[in-house]
Amino acid sequence: MTTNFVLNGRSVETGDLPPTTTLLDWLREERGLTGSKEGCNEGDCGACTVMVRDHRGARALNACILFLPQLYGKEVTTVEGLSSPDGELHPVQQALVDHHGSQCGFCTPGFAVSMATAHLNGQTDHADRIAGNLCRCTGYAAILKAAKAAEAAPIPAHLSSSGKKYPRGGAQRGGQTAPLLPDSSDALADLYAQWPDATLIAGATDVGLWVTKQMRPLGKVIFLHACRDLQDITETENELTMGAGVTLARLHPVMTRLWPSFGEMIRRYGSVQVREAATIGGNIANGSPIGDSPPALIALGATLHLRHRDTRRSLPLEQFFLDYGKQDRAPGEFVEKVTVLKTNQPLSVYKLSKRFDQDISAVCGAFSVEIQNGQIASARIAFGGMAGTPKRASTTESKLTGQPWTKETITRAAAALAEDYTPMSDMRGSAGYRMKTAQNMLWRLWHERQGHASHVLEVRP
């Protein structure tokens, strides 16, 4: 499979390589561009960060879990391409020098590319922008100072995106191991019905690790990034519709506006690089019991829409998850979109992880509890990390609905969580820890509704 794209201002062809060849391996081994480093090789450390531009603009992405066919028709800038053709450093590179933002230097290329992408986009939330870039020796103070210092510098001419156009995508390009590259959901429906055992790849933030860590051969693969009609977000007065290909980064401002607690959870979902690649459809369809978006969507009463060829069906999202690793999805059927009613229902989402930023949840709880005149009018509660699937707390909901909003009611409801869940013990937490923290999340909800400060970043002694 040969992929064409623009690399540091020049058109390139990758040559006939397996479709699961990562950009990082190709850059280092085939092109000799060793500025992008291999640290974790799973999208955590950011040492391999590159800038990718297409019709959606500029994004910082992890090259280690980015497959070559995902770059068809796009523009890639590595750390070697940040400086101008005459050798002048990019403003963020110069700022890193001026503010002593590098010691050993291994992580610095990734920081520079993340900062340059933010600079191009006019983004000044620097702590969030570099949360996916790990540094063990310099410390972040100098790096944040450098990012701040470069804010007002003009965008270098060679990185300007004005007037550029990008192709829609590719097509199937021969051979039994070549990837399938549909450019619409209709084309995807036909291809997936023909190849129901194929692996679907959207952002590759999960599937990428199957290759780089598990060394799994994937066989036939279907890439979804060119299906632009799956990337639409549609709002009406009463409903929000999210195409399966919508990234978490694009969903973030929408959820922040509609349900701020959901938006805050997305801000902590992986890193910028992961959120720019991961899709809402992938986060649902992989069926992970610790996926962060399903509990929140279940609490909102979301509806999932599936498609097989021209046949479509819809079901409540909580019914999609049948058991660990098993979903209600037939061969050749794929997630097309998710819809949520835009009501005034409150939503509180709490993510518990060992690291505050960029970590997998031990427990993620979502609470949609409506209180009227001191009584609990309705309750929808869902958790991730408490069972083999994301799951509603039906018994707990029944202990709340119709009851007074009091400590006594919360005490009974918290005890009922043990009837809804039998959590497991693993490296992220014991079963007892998970149960206790889930109960504490219910208590956190009560305290927040009483006006008490409860956020760990806001509470001060």
Question: Do 300 and 426 belong together in one domain?
Answer: yes
Is residue 192 domain-resident? no
pLDDT of residue 434: 96
CB 188 within 8 A of CB 226: no
Question: Do 147 and 22 belong together in one domain?
Answer: yes
Nearest to 21 by CA among 76, 64, 72: 64
Q: Which amino acid is at 15?
A: G
Query: Residue 363, class by beta-carbon neighbours within 10 Å (0-12 exposed, 13-18 middle, 19+ buried)?
Result: buried
The three-point CA angle 79-272-429 to 5° equals: 125
Q: Which amino acid is at 161?
A: S
pLDDT in tens, 296-331: 999 999 999 999 999 999 999 999 999 999 999 999
Mean pLDDT of 121-130: 96
Q: Which pLDDT band, with edges at 50, 70 and 90, does 203 fall under?
A: very high
pLDDT of residue 357: 82
Query: Residue 193, class by beta-carbon neighbours within 10 Å (0-12 exposed, 13-18 middle, 19+ buried)?
Result: middle
Question: Do 150 and 245 belong together in one domain?
Answer: no
Q: What is the CATH number of the domain that holds 405?
A: 3.30.390.50
Is residue 10 domain-resident? yes
pLDDT of residue 162: 60
Mean pLDDT of 417-431: 93
Nearest to 379 by CA among 389, 366, 391, 370: 370
- Taking phi over 0 as left and psi of -120 to 50 as alpha, with beta for the rest, 332 belongs to left
Question: Do 140 and 259 belong together in one domain?
Answer: no
Question: Do 138 and 249 belong together in one domain?
Answer: no
Please report how the helices 431-449 and 407-420 are oriented relative to each other, as an axis angle in degrees rounded to 10.
150
Mean pLDDT of 203-218: 95
Question: Do 140 and 263 belong together in one domain?
Answer: no
pLDDT of residue 427: 87
Mean pLDDT of 5-30: 94
pLDDT in tens, 32-48: 999 999 999 999 999 99
Is residue 222 domain-resident? no
Q: Based on the structure, what is the number of domains in the chain?
A: 2
Percent of the chain surpassing pLDDT 70: 95
Quote the pTM value: 0.93
- 319-324, Cβ contacts within 8 angstroms, sequence gap of 24 or more: 320/284, 321/287, 321/294, 321/389, 321/390, 321/391, 322/389, 323/388, 323/389, 324/287, 324/289, 324/388, 324/389
Domain that holds residue 248: 231-449
In the predicted model, is pLDDT for residue 6 greater than 90? yes
pLDDT of residue 176: 43
pLDDT of residue 459: 63
Helix, coil or strand: residue 369:
strand
Query: Residue 412, class by beta-carbon neighbours within 10 Å (0-12 exposed, 13-18 middle, 19+ buried)?
Result: middle
Question: Do 158 and 250 belong together in one domain?
Answer: no
Q: Which amino acid is at 209?
A: L
Is residue 19 domain-resident? yes
Is residue 347 domain-resident? yes
Q: Which pLDDT band, with edges at 50, 70 and 90, does 174 fall under?
A: very low
Q: What does the DSSP 8-state code read for residue 445? A: H
Question: Do 140 and 238 belong together in one domain?
Answer: no
Pairing of strands 75-77, 4-7: parallel
- Picking from 117, 138, 162, the residue at the C-terminal end of a domain is 162
Helix, coil or strand: residue 272:
helix
Query: Residue 104, class by beta-carbon neighbours within 10 Å (0-12 exposed, 13-18 middle, 19+ buried)?
Result: exposed
- 119-128, Cβ contacts within 8 angstroms, sequence gap of 24 or more: 119/90, 119/91, 119/92, 119/150, 119/151, 119/153, 119/155, 120/51, 120/58, 120/155, 120/159, 120/161, 121/57, 121/58, 124/148, 124/151, 128/267, 128/272
pLDDT of residue 171: 41
Is residue 201 domain-resident? no
Q: What does the DSSP 8-state code read for residue 26? A: I
Pairing of strands 311-316, 303-308: antiparallel
- Picking from 162, 183, 203, the residue at the C-terminal end of a domain is 162
In the predicted model, is pLDDT for residue 62 greater than 80? yes
CA distances from 334 to 186, 244, 282, 285, 311 (A): 12, 9, 10, 8, 11
CB 258 within 8 A of CB 251: no
Scanning 89-199, the segments in alpha helix (DSSP H) are 91-98, 108-121, 126-129, 140-149, 185-194
pLDDT in tens, 371-396: 999 999 999 999 999 999 999 999 99
pLDDT in tens, 235-246: 999 999 999 999
Lowest mean pLDDT: which of 88-102, 187-201, 372-386, 442-456? 442-456
pLDDT of residue 461: 57
Is residue 212 domain-resident? no
Is residue 437 domain-resident? yes
Q: What is the CATH number of the domain that holds 66?
A: 3.10.20.30
Annotate 385-410 with b (16+ C-beta within 10 A) or e (fewer). bbbbbbbbbebbbebbbebebeeebb
Mean pLDDT of 203-216: 95
In the predicted model, is pLDDT for residue 264 greater than 90? yes
pLDDT of residue 272: 96
Question: Do 151 and 237 belong together in one domain?
Answer: no
Question: Do 134 and 36 belong together in one domain?
Answer: yes
Q: Which pLDDT band, with edges at 50, 70 and 90, does 167 fall under?
A: low
Q: Output the six-digit token pair for 138.
A: 């310099």
Helix, coil or strand: residue 34:
coil
Question: Do 236 and 112 belong together in one domain?
Answer: no
Q: Which pLDDT band, with edges at 50, 70 and 90, does 55 fall under?
A: confident
Question: Do 117 and 241 belong together in one domain?
Answer: no
- Picking from 162, 193, 210, the residue at the C-terminal end of a domain is 162
SS (H, E, C) 316-328: EHHHCEEECCEEC
Residue identified by tokens 């993510």 is 351
- Residue 6 phi/psi, 5° resolution? -100, 125
The three-point CA angle 32-33-36 to 5° equals: 140
CB 405 within 8 A of CB 411: no
